[in-house]
C-alpha cells in the first residue's frame, strides 16, 4: 500500500484528491487541520502523531518534524534504505501534498505585528517540500492545488515528479526570500530583489523580427497581463507593450474611461458616464494614429461600444468584461485580439527597468499621493466650471504620456475627451505644437495639461496661439513668475498642482 502525506493551509481541492487516493487504496496520513477536514469528509485518515508516536507540540509548531516522517520521505528505493526503515518500524512515504502558511499575504497587511508574522513562518511544511523534492526519483511532491492530477497514473511519471520537485524548490526559495525581505525591512535596509518568473508564452519575435522574445508571469500558468485571451492570435511583444500602456492608463480613472494607444503612447483618451459614449471621442482625438492601435476600457464593453468603433482596424481590445452580443459582433473581425482583464488584478507597487549593467526600481507613479499638495490657481483669472472639469480630466489623462507631455482636452460636463496629444520630444514647446497639430480647429477653447513645469513662457504663448484657455501644470520652475505673467497677459487661467508626472 502506498502512503500519501497531506498537510495544507490552502485546502482547495484536497478532499477531491484525497478521495481519489483512497479509492486507489492509498493510505492517507495527515496533520492537524488537514486531518480534521478529511475526516469530516468521511475519509479514513491516519494522523501524523500515530506515525511518530508523539503528540503535536507548542500549539502545532512541531508536528511533522520527526525522523519517522523524514526518513519515510528521504529513503531511496534501495535494499539498504528499505532495511533501515524496517528496522525502526517505519514506512516509506510516496506522495507529499503540502502548501505553506500564507506569510506573504499576512505581512502585506500593514497592521500585522512582528509576533503575528513570526507565527506565519512555516517550518515543517518547508522541510517536507524540500525533503520530498530531493527524493523526486521515488516521491511525488505537490505544492500547488493547481497541480493536483486528474489521473493518479501521472504520479508514476518521473519527468512529472521532477517538474513538481522543481516547482517545490521554487516555492521554498520564494518563501524564504519573502521572509528575508520582511526582516530586512524591519532593519530599515533596502530589500534584496529576488524575482522568480515563469515562462508563459514564447513570442514570435521581439520589437523586430530578428529579436527573439518570451513573456513571463509571476505565477505558473498566468495569462497575459493577468487576463485571458478570448479571441485572436497570440499577443505579440509590441501588443503587450501597448496593452500595458493602455491598461495602466485606463486603470488610473475612477469613472468610465477608454484609452487608445499606438506605439506605447496614448493618442486618444475619453471619460463618460457610459463606455459607449467614450469610444468615439477617444478615437476622434487622433483617428490617423488610432488605425492599428490597441484600445482599453475599464468597464464592460457592450454593443454601443462596438458601434462606436465603426470600421476602424484595431489590433487589440482589453476590458474587464465583454457582453455576449458584443463578442458576436467583434468575432467578425478576424484579426482582432480580445483580452479580458479582471479589475481585481492589481497593478504592481514598483516598476523595474533594465539599464546597462543593472536595474532601476521605482515606486509606480500615481495621483493618489498620501500627502499631495493642494492645487493653486496662480493667475488672476479663475478657471470656469467647464474649464475645471476639463482640467481635472486632462491632468489624469496626461500622466501616461511620454514626456515632455502636453495634452489638450475638452469637457461638456459629462463627456471629457482629448483633442490633441504631444509627447516624447526633447523640448516642451515642440510638444505643444504637435498637440496643436493633432487638434487642429478643436484646439480653440481647449485646456492644456503639462506633465512638468514650463521652463520658459514660450510654451504658454504657443498654447495661447492655439486657442487654449486654461492650463494645468506642476509649477516649480525658477521662471514661474514669468510664466504666470505671460498667462495673465494672455488672459489664461492656470493651476499649479505641485506634483510632477514626468515619464521617460
pLDDT digits (tens, 9 = 90+) for 264-281: 999 999 999 999 999 999
* Residue 132 pLDDT: 92
**pLDDT band per the 50, 70, 90 thresholds, residue 432:** very high
Q: What whole-number percentage of the chain has pLDDT above 70? A: 98
- DSSP run (H or E) holding 406: strand 406-411
User: Contact 195/217 with Cβ under 8 angstroms?
Assistant: no
pLDDT digits (tens, 9 = 90+) for 161-182: 999 999 999 899 888 888 888 8
Residues known to be catalytic: 134, 263
* Residue 107 pLDDT: 87
**CA–CA separation, 65 vs 124, rounded Å?**
6
Strand pairing of 265-271 and 416-422? antiparallel
Query: For the chain, which residues make up each domain, given as ranges?
Result: 3-186, 223-340, 376-496
* Residue 190 pLDDT: 73
* Cell 511519471 -> residue: 157
pLDDT digits (tens, 9 = 90+) for 91-105: 888 999 998 888 888
pLDDT digits (tens, 9 = 90+) for 320-342: 999 999 999 999 998 899 999 99
Is 433 a residue whose pLDDT tops 90?
yes
Give the CATH fold of the 3-186 domain.
Rossmann fold (3.40.50)
Instruction: Kindly write down the DSSP assignment for every residue of 284-340, as one continuous string.
Output: HTSHHHHTTEEEEESS-B-HHHHHHHTT--EEEEEES-B-HHHHHHHTT-TT-EEEE
In degrees rounded to 5, what are phi and psi of residue 351? Answer: -125, 145
pLDDT digits (tens, 9 = 90+) for 356-407: 999 998 988 875 555 678 899 999 999 999 999 999 999 999 999 999 999 9
Domain 376-496 is of which CATH architecture? 3-Layer(aba) Sandwich (3.40)
Mean pLDDT of the chain: 90
Is 312 a residue whose pLDDT tops 90?
yes
* Residue 370 pLDDT: 56
Provide mean pLDDT across the span 468-495. 96
pLDDT digits (tens, 9 = 90+) for 76-91: 888 887 887 788 877 8
Same fold, 3-186 and 376-496: no
* Residue 356 pLDDT: 93
Provide mean pLDDT across the span 477-486. 95
User: Contact 140/155 with Cβ under 8 angstroms?
Assistant: yes
* Residue 367 pLDDT: 59
* Residue 410 pLDDT: 97
User: Contact 93/72 with Cβ under 8 angstroms?
Assistant: yes
**pLDDT band per the 50, 70, 90 thresholds, residue 32:** confident
Give the CATH fold of the 223-340 domain.
Cytidine Deaminase; domain 2 (3.40.140)
Specify the pTM: 0.72
* Residue 256 pLDDT: 95
Q: At what angle do helices 79-88 and 67-74 cross, to 10 degrees?
A: 160
Provide mean pLDDT across the span 431-436. 95
Provide mean pLDDT across the span 114-119. 89
Residues in the chain: 504
Is 56 a residue whose pLDDT tops 60?
yes
**CA–CA separation, 423 vs 402, rounded Å?**
5
Amino acid at each position: 500500500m502506498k502512503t500519501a502525506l497531506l498537510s495544507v493551509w490552502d485546502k482547495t481541492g484536497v478532499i477531491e484528491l484525497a478521495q481519489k487516493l483512497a479509492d486507489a487504496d492509498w493510505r492517507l496520513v495527515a496533520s492537524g487541520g488537514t486531518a480534521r477536514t478529511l475526516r469530516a469528509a468521511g475519509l479514513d485518515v491516519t494522523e501524523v502523531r500515530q506515525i511518530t508516536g508523539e503528540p503535536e507540540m507548542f500549539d502545532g509548531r512541531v508536528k511533522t518534524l520527526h525522523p519517522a516522517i523524514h526518513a519515510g520521505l528521504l529513503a531511496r528505493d534501495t535494499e539498504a534504505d528499505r532495511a533501515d526503515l524496517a528496522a525502526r518500524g517505519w514506512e516509506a512515504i510516496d506522495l507529499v501534498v503540502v502548501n505553506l502558511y500564507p506569510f506573504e499575504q499576512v505581512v502585506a497587511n500593514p497592521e500585522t505585528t512582528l509576533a503575528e508574522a513570526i507565527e506565519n513562518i512555516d517550518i515543517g511544511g518547508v522541510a517536507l517540500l524540500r525533503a520530498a523534492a530531493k527524493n523526486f526519483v521515488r516521491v511525488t511532491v505537490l505544492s500547488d492545488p493547481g497541480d493536483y492530477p486528474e489521473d493518479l497514473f501521472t504520479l508514476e511519471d518521473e519527468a512529472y515528479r521532477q517538474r513538481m520537485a522543481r516547482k517545490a524548490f521554487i516555492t521554498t526559495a520564494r518563501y524564504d526570500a519573502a521572509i528575508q525581505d520582511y526582516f530586512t525591512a524591519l532593519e530599515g535596509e533596502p530589500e534584496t530583489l529576488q524575482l522568480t518568473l515563469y515562462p508563459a508564452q514564447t513570442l514570435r519575435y521581439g520589437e523586430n523580427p530578428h529579436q527573439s522574445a518570451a513573456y513571463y508571469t509571476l505565477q505558473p500558468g498566468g495569462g497575459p497581463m493577468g487576463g485571458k485571451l478570448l479571441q485572436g492570435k497570440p499577443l505579440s511583444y509590441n501588443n503587450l507593450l501597448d496593452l500595458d500602456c493602455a491598461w495602466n492608463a485606463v486603470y488610473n480613472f475612477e469613472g468610465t474611461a477608454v484609452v487608445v494607444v499606438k506605439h506605447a503612447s496614448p493618442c486618444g483618451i475619453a471619460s463618460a458616464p457610459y463606455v459607449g459614449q467614450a469610444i468615439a471621442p477617444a478615437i476622434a482625438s487622433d483617428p490617423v494614429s488610432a488605425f492599428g492601435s490597441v484600445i482599453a476600457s475599464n468597464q464592460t464593453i457592450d454593443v454601443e461600444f462596438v458601434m462606436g468603433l465603426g470600421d476602424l482596424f484595431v489590433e487589440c481590445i482589453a476590458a474587464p468584461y465583454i457582453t455576449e452580443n458584443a463578442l458576436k459582433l467583434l468575432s467578425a473581425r478576424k484579426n482582432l485580439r480580445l483580452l479580458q482583464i479582471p479589475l481585481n488584478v492589481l497593478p504592481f507597487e514598483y516598476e523595474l527597468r533594465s539599464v546597462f549593467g543593472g536595474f532601476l526600481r521605482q515606486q509606480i507613479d500615481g495621483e493618489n499621493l498620501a500627502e499631495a499638495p493642494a492645487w493653486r490657481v496662480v493667475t488672476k483669472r479663475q478657471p470656469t466650471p467647464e474649464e475645471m472639469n476639463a482640467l481635472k480630466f486632462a491632468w489624469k489623462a496626461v500622466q501616461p504620456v511620454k514626456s515632455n507631455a502636453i495634452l489638450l482636452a475638452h469637457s461638456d460636463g459629462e463627456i471629457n475627451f482629448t483633442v490633441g496629444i504631444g509627447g516624447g520630444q526633447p523640448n516642451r514647446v515642440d510638444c505643444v505644437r504637435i498637440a496643436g497639430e493633432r487638434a487642429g480647429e478643436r484646439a480653440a477653447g481647449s485646456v492644456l495639461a503639462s506633465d512638468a513645469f514650463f521652463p520658459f513662457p514660450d510654451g504658454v504663448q504657443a498654447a495661447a496661439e492655439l486657442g487654449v484657455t486654461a492650463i494645468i501644470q506642476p509649477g516649480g520652475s525658477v521662471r514661474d513668475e514669468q510664466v504666470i505673467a505671460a498667462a495673465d497677459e494672455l488672459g489664461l487661467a492656470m493651476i499649479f498642482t505641485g506634483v510632477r508626472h514626468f515619464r521617460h
